[in-house]
């Protein structure tokens, strides 16, 4: 290599002067043979070496090992797939089975603004994970006067047709279908005017009218009356599941019926969802009997008058029962905060007022209602996303006059165990089931300081204090 010169003058023969120091001139000499030169193998030499017997055998051995390893992994994957437990197919679910329904019977009592007020509270319903709204009745009628019944008009006291259209549009945007309650005579005990045949014809025309307006379904009371009329098959035909009506529901209700009578109504009416009052928690045989004969997608539970029973259990116990039983939970306006008979739903909107402005009694009551509301929202969230609670099997674990425990399980999903004691004394439950582990995790509790959320508790001789309920979960063990 040639010398690398930083200056045209031979710097090796120059003395280091002030000028050269200033310019930083340096002579760098690189030996021509320093380090040698690497040229590598030529193509012919490389081919000659790799063609030797040793290299050929090595390549063949490595290829064989690769193919054997690949075949082994493939075979292992096939064995795992074949031996893995099959996932159960998810049952067909409709929107009215995916979470709680919320019932606003008296629109003006719910909000002084009528239909506009309901529209303003759609965000409130969304926050509670409500999957549908049962609205009304909102049609015009005078008490006991069949000739004044007009099922296709909106009574002026609740709003206008435009108010209703706006409500339907906004509810649709938020994913909340609205079912219209067509109870004919809602001011008297005889909802059918003692002439159900005449009313049935009006019902048929009203169903067609309102479904074209964008309602997600129709609700009819006391199905035992109307399902025996000659107009009933024509009403059913309106809801026959086609591409246009598959998301439209025909709902009805019955009250004070035995399990056999409820089953008979379900078989004969053919409704998509039948609402009935929640049975006494001690009567678990009713639940087992109904769900052994009918899919849980066709049954709904209403809180009804349980909240006002004497002695009454805390409302949170009944909320937990409705949300964790198989079937659709249906709540009336105010149930989410524990309003009692005669109390106005306006109390719900007052919960956001600062508690400091209230006296001690009012503050305590407000805190209790807020706690009830929080439990409602937590249960609603779990009910909407956990498969075992959505469509899992119902297994009774314990039942007595004052306590109850049951299991909800679905395929390989987490299992959920509900235990409650509405009595005045502590209870010890002997939970016997082969599926139960030694411990379970606390997911939700009501007034049970010894059962902290997310803590692990033993299921052997499980103890629960008076007026307490708890929701536990544990993973699928295989």
Q: Does 89 map to a domain?
A: no
List 406's β-bridge partners, or say none.
Answer: 396, 418
Same domain for 103 and 195:
yes
Q: What is the CATH number of the domain that holds 108?
A: 3.20.20.80
Q: Does 126 map to a domain?
A: yes
Spatial neighbors of 244 by CB under 8 A, at least 6 apart, are: none
What's the total number of domains in the chain?
A: 3
Q: Closest Cα partner for 171 from 96, 118, 99, 102? A: 118
Backbone φ, ψ for residue 439 (5° rounding)? -135, 160
Q: Pick the last residue of a domain from 35, 60, 83.
A: 83
Same domain for 278 and 172:
yes
Same domain for 441 and 322:
no
- pLDDT digits (tens), the chain, 478 positions: 444 444 444 444 444 454 444 455 555 555 555 555 667 778 777 777 777 888 888 888 899 999 999 999 998 888 887 776 677 777 788 999 999 999 999 999 999 999 999 999 999 999 999 999 999 999 998 877 888 899 999 999 999 999 999 999 999 999 999 999 999 998 766 789 888 899 999 999 999 999 999 999 999 999 999 999 999 999 999 998 666 667 899 999 998 888 888 889 999 999 999 998 877 766 666 777 777 777 788 899 887 654 455 445 688 888 999 999 999 999 999 899 888 777 777 777 777 665 555 678 878 888 888 889 999 999 999 999 999 999 899 998 998 888 999 999 999 899 999 999 988 899 999 987 777 999 999 999 987 778 889 999 999 889 999 999 999 999 998 7
Q: Does 324 map to a domain?
A: yes
Same domain for 298 and 252:
yes
Same domain for 408 and 380:
no
Same domain for 142 and 47:
no
Taking the alpha carbons of 165, 167, 169, 172 in that order, is the dihedral positive or negative? negative
Q: What is the CATH number of the domain that holds 454?
A: 2.60.40.1180
User: Domain range spanning residue 224?
Assistant: 96-385
Would you state the pLDDT for residue 311? Answer: 46
Same domain for 267 and 330:
yes
Q: Pick the last residue of a domain from 385, 406, 436.
A: 385
């Amino acid at each position: 290599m040639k010398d690398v010169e930083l200056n045209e003058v031979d710097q090796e023969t120059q003395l280091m002067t002030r000028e050269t120091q200033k310019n930083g001139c340096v002579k760098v000499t690189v030996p021509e043979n320093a380090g040698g030169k690497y040229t590598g193998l030529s193509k012919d030499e490389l081919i000659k070496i790799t063609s030797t017997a040793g290299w050929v055998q090595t390549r063949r051995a490595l290829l064989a090992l690769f193919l054997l390893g690949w075949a082994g992994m493939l075979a292992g994957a096939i064995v795992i797939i074949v031996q893995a437990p099959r996932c159960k197919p998810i049952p067909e679910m409709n929107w009215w089975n995916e979470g709680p329904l919320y019932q606003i019977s008296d629109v003006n009592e719910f909000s002084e603004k009528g239909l506009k007020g309901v529209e303003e509270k759609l965000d409130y319903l969304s926050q509670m994970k409500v999957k549908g709204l049962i609205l009304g009745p909102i049609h015009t009628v005078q008490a006991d006067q069949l000739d004044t019944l007009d099922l296709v008009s909106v009574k002026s006291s609740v709003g206008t047709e435009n108010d209703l259209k706006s409500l339907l549009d906004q509810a649709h945007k938020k994913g909340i279908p609205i079912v219209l309650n067509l109870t004919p005579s809602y001011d008297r005990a005889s909802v059918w005017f003692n002439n159900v045949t005449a009313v049935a014809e009006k019902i048929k025309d009203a169903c067609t009218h309102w479904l074209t307006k964008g309602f997600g379904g129709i609700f009819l009371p006391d199905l035992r009356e109307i399902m025996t009329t000659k107009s009933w098959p024509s009403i059913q035909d309106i809801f026959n599941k086609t591409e246009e009506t598959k998301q439209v529901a025909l709902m009805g209700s019955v009250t004070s019926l035995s399990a056999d009578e409820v089953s008979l109504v379900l078989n004969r009416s053919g409704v998509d969802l039948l609402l009935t009052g929640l049975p006494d928690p001690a009567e678990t045989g009713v639940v087992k009997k109904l769900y052994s004969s009918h899919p849980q997608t066709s049954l709904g539970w209403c809180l009804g008058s349980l909240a006002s029973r004497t002695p009454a259990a805390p409302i949170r116990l009944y909320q937990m029962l409705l949300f964790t039983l198989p079937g659709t939970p249906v709540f009336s306006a105010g149930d989410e905060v524990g309003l009692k008979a005669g109390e106005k739903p306006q109390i719900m909107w007052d919960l956001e007022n600062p508690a400091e402005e209230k006296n001690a009694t009012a503050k305590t009551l407000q805190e209790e209602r807020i706690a009830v509301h929080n439990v409602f929202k937590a249960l609603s969230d779990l009910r909407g996303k956990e498969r075992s609670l959505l469509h899992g099997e119902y297994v009774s674990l314990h039942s007595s006059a004052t306590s109850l425990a049951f299991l909800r399980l679905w395929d390989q999903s987490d299992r959920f165990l509900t235990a409650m004691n509405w009595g005045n004394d502590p209870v010890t439950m002997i939970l016997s089931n082969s599926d139960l582990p030694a411990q379970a995790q606390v997911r939700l509790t009501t007034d049970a300081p010894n059962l902290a959320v997310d803590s692990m508790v033993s299921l052997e001789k499980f103890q629960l204090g008076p007026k307490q309920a708890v929701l536990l979960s544990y993973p699928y063990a295989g």
